[in-house]
Structures are given as structure tokens and as C-alpha cells.
Amino acid sequence: MSIAVAVAGAAGRMGRTVVKAVHGDPELALVGAVDVACLGQDAGDLAGVGATGVALTSDLGSTLRAGNAAVLVDFTRAAVAFENAKTALSFGVSPVIGTTGMTPAQVEEVRALAARQGVGAFMAPNFAIGAVLMMLFARQAARYMPEVEIIEFHGEQKVDAPSGTAMRTLDFILAGRAARTAVRPEREEFKLEGARGGDQDGVKVHSVRLPGYVAHQECLFGGLGQTLTLRHDSTDRISFMPGVVLACKQVRSLDGLVVGLEHLLEL
């Protein structure tokens, strides 16, 4: 029996890619599409897969009820995704959230609601399997090379900075990091404020926002007479789809909210 999936933000670039992925998987069934744009248009036509019989609507609750959805995939914006997650959980629908930028308090509210409802929920800053491997490798590297900086690159329309992937990588690095070794000046002199990026516990994080990028990140480690670079590049949004499809298939079996694709992979 197919898993009934609705997509929030279905008219956007990520949303259309999700619609295509859901439509193309025999274990999933597209039953709803929600957006504020392209209302009434067929979600499949917008995604380039042909008519699916699922028209875009603006009412999430009605869409979830009408399609008897089990899962809601959300790639919108933080404030919208937060409200959508609460709505989905109130209907007993499992949210799969790829939107980043929620506050810690919002994440905890989603966690608490999922626990009260007894419904599985899933959230990940990055659904690309290669990006998850990069995070795990960075945690390992930080045990031996504690001097590290992160540079992340996204398209010009991305609102939050640093990216969710960078912040998740930062958590991994700090969790595995050995004592710092480099001797640094007591005071750095900046000719341009912010030139050294953001700083958390001595890890500098730099965000680039330019046309032409999708999602890219480098972790630069420095040591005595050597450097190590870990880099992941998503050159197409399709790179996220295996992770999204995996989450759709597993989220109903989760105990409350789970954060991070690594928890769904056999690593």
C-alpha cells in the first residue's frame, strides 16, 4: 500500500522537485499540494511529469483531510514550516521538514506536539547523503585537527545564514573536537567588519550568497605543515530527493521528532 504524501511549497523549485520524486516512487502517492502561488494548477504539470489530478490549493488542513495524507513534506520558509508542522501534527500527519531557520524554541514546540500526538516527525538541515557524510567526517577530523573553519555557499535567495547544514556541522565538530592548538593574536585587526565571519567557540563560519549556487560547503582543517579540506556540492536539487523519499517511508515509524538524516541511514 502506497504512503499518501502531501507537499507544502509545491509551486517552488524544491517543491516541484519533491512532487516529481514522490510521483516517481511506487511506494509513495501524491495526494495533496499546497502553495500560495499557481492555485488550481496541476502539481504534476508544474513539476514536468504530466497531470496527476492533484491541484494546488492554499488550505493545508483541507488538503490533508481530502487526501487522507499520512506525510507532509515541507520546503517553504521557517515561519510557514513551523505553522504547517503544527497543523499536520494536529491532524495526525507526520511532517518531513527540509526548511531551515526555525528557532530552537520552535523546534522544541514541534517536538513536544509530536510526542503528545504520538506521531513521528522528521527534520533535517540537509537531505543529501553526501552532505551527511561530510558532517560525520568533519566530526572525526576535529578529533585530530581542531583548528577548522566552515564556508558555506548558497543561492542569493536563501534567507537564513549560516545555513542549517553549517550549523549542524558546527555542532558535530564541537562534539568531537580536541583541544585547540594554534597560537593566535590576542586581538585581530579588521579593515572590514565581519571579514572573519561568524564565530562560535573558536570556529569561524562564513556564508556566501550568490546566483548559480545550489548548496555547497567546505570544512577547512589546518595543522602543522598540512591542511585537510572536506567539501560537498549539491549541483542539482535532485541530490536531496533520495533522502526525502527515505524520510517519507520511515517517518511514520519514528518515536516523536527526529532531527538529522544520519539517524535514518545505516552508518
* Residues acting as catalytic residues: 154, 158
Beta strands 94-97 and 121-123 are parallel
C-alpha dihedral sign at 138, 134, 101, 64: negative
Q: Which residues have CB under 8 Å from 51's CB, separation 6+? A: 42, 44, 45
Are 211 and 94 in contact by the 8 Å Cβ rule? The answer is no
Question: Please, what's the largest Cα pairwise distance for the chain?
Answer: 64
Are 255 and 32 in contact by the 8 Å Cβ rule? The answer is no
- What are the phi and psi torsion angles at 89 (to 5°)? -65, -35
Are 76 and 9 in contact by the 8 Å Cβ rule? The answer is yes
What distance in Å separates the CA atoms of residue 73 and residue 247, rounded to the nearest whole number? 9
